[in-house]
Amino acid sequence: MIEYFRRHLGARLLLSYLVIIVVGVLVLVISSQFILPTSFNRHMYGMMDGDMGMGMGMNNSMGQLYVDFRASFNEALMYATLAAMFAAFILSLFFSRGVIAPIHVMSLATQRIADGRYDERVQVNGNDELAQLAVYFNQMAEKLDEVESMRRRLIGDVSHELRTPLTAIKGSMEGLMDGILPATEETYQQVHAEAERLNRLVNDLQELSRVEARAYQLDIRPVDASTLVRTVTKRLSPHAESKRITLNFELAPDLPHVLADEDRAVQVLTNLTGNALQYTPEGGRVTISAKRINSEIQFSIHDTGIGIPPEHLSHIFDRFYRVDKSRSRQSGGGSGIGLTIARAIVEAHGGRIWVESAGNEKGSVFTFTLPILKKN
């Protein structure tokens, strides 16, 4: 019972009100018992003096006795009520401060967070609703701190990603103008590749902005799940062959159609498969599979690549998050935008997306689901 009151703020407030009422009644009763005899005796002495001096009859004496008794009781009750109200006020103030104090602390902490101090935290005391609110508040503050850190990292990442191709393009053009670099097809291809890299980054940033703002419409219609897998496999086969990676697919028999925007579904599957090829070494294998799980089609991309450490799995779909920045840049990876876009698209379809990996150099499995077309 004690533990129940500790864990539930409503029960504690109810108990506090009951305590205030009980204490008020006790104060009223005790005060009446102390004040009533004195008041009654004072009124009785005055009545007896008047009756003896004037020789009034018994009826008048009893009537006056009743009037004086009622007056004495009302007087006692008035003082007792005042005492009870004072005691109830003191107790209410005491209990209310116990509830308001942590809320006031969180209010001040909220103001400091609004001023940009995302490292602000509040102390958690107990296990009741206020303590749970404090826990959620700290989780919110921690998430805001992470978002702010990602924002700062974004500025650095985007600046680096933009500076690298721009520097290469500028250097190549200066070399051409000064006659240091020959005006050959290879030189122009290098400039074009850097321009394409820059264009790809700008497009990814624009796409991320549209996805997060939900400023796009999905053309939802029945789509053959097998066709999606075959389309992506055919599209990425030349890239896989150039890296000497085996790219194949495994499809369960009689796959039903999914309800999806075909272009967006292909975009997600291409993004995940492209990442798998990017981080799978020469001689490795990437397999795209599709199977039905209840009312969904589950698409999985298995690879034998570099894997993902366990501590990074929960952040892999965060904006601009990369497991290894230096390795990503050396291998030509982006700024960690593609996976965020893929998650937003899948969730817009009503599906789910997640990743599994046994660790470094042990490969990874990216999986997402799409709802199937229900037959009438």
Distance CA 153, CA 170 (A): 25
Which pLDDT belongs to residue 128?
Answer: 73
Under the banding of pLDDT at 50, 70 and 90, the label for residue 21 is confident
Two tokens at 118?
């995302």
Ranking 55-69, 123-137, 161-175 by mean pLDDT, the lowest is: 55-69
Q: Looking up tokens 């796009």, which residue turns up?
A: 216
Under the banding of pLDDT at 50, 70 and 90, the label for residue 102 is confident
Residues forming a β-bridge with 197: none
Sorted by sequence, the CB contacts under 8 Å of residue 344 that are 6+ apart come out as: 211, 212
Distance CA 333, CA 125 (A): 46
Distance CA 130, CA 145 (A): 22
* pLDDT of 363 above 50: yes
Under the banding of pLDDT at 50, 70 and 90, the label for residue 321 is low
* pLDDT of 192 above 80: yes
Q: Looking up tokens 């007896």, which residue turns up?
A: 48
- Ordered domains of the chain (ranges, CATH): 2-117 (no CATH), 148-212 (1.10.287.130), 221-371 (3.30.565.10)
- pLDDT tens track for 278-296: 999 999 999 999 999 999 9
Residues forming a β-bridge with 366: 301, 355
- Of 24 and 171, the one with more pLDDT: 171
- pLDDT tens track for 236-272: 999 999 999 999 999 999 899 999 999 999 999 999 9
Two tokens at 323?
């497991």
Which pLDDT belongs to residue 225?
Answer: 93
Contacts 24+ apart (CB under 8 A), 310-319: 310/357, 310/359, 313/355, 313/356, 313/357, 316/355, 317/342, 317/343, 317/353, 317/355, 318/150, 319/150, 319/154, 319/208
DSSP 8-class letter at 372: B
Residue 243 sits at φ, ψ, to 5 deg, of -95, 5
Which pLDDT belongs to residue 238?
Answer: 93
Residue type, 142: E
Sorted by sequence, the CB contacts under 8 Å of residue 85 that are 6+ apart come out as: 24
Residue 251 sits at φ, ψ, to 5 deg, of -115, 130
- pLDDT tens track for 133-156: 888 888 888 888 888 887 787 777
Contact 292, 298 (CB under 8 A): yes
Q: State pTM to two decimals.
A: 0.57
Two tokens at 267?
């975009």
* pLDDT of 174 above 60: yes
Under the banding of pLDDT at 50, 70 and 90, the label for residue 331 is very low
Most confident stretch, 89-98, 108-117, 267-276, 312-321 = 267-276
pLDDT mean over 350-368: 92
pLDDT mean over 22-51: 66
Which pLDDT belongs to residue 326?
Answer: 46
Return left, alpha or beta for 8; rule: phi > 0 is left, psi -120 to 50 is alpha, else beta: beta
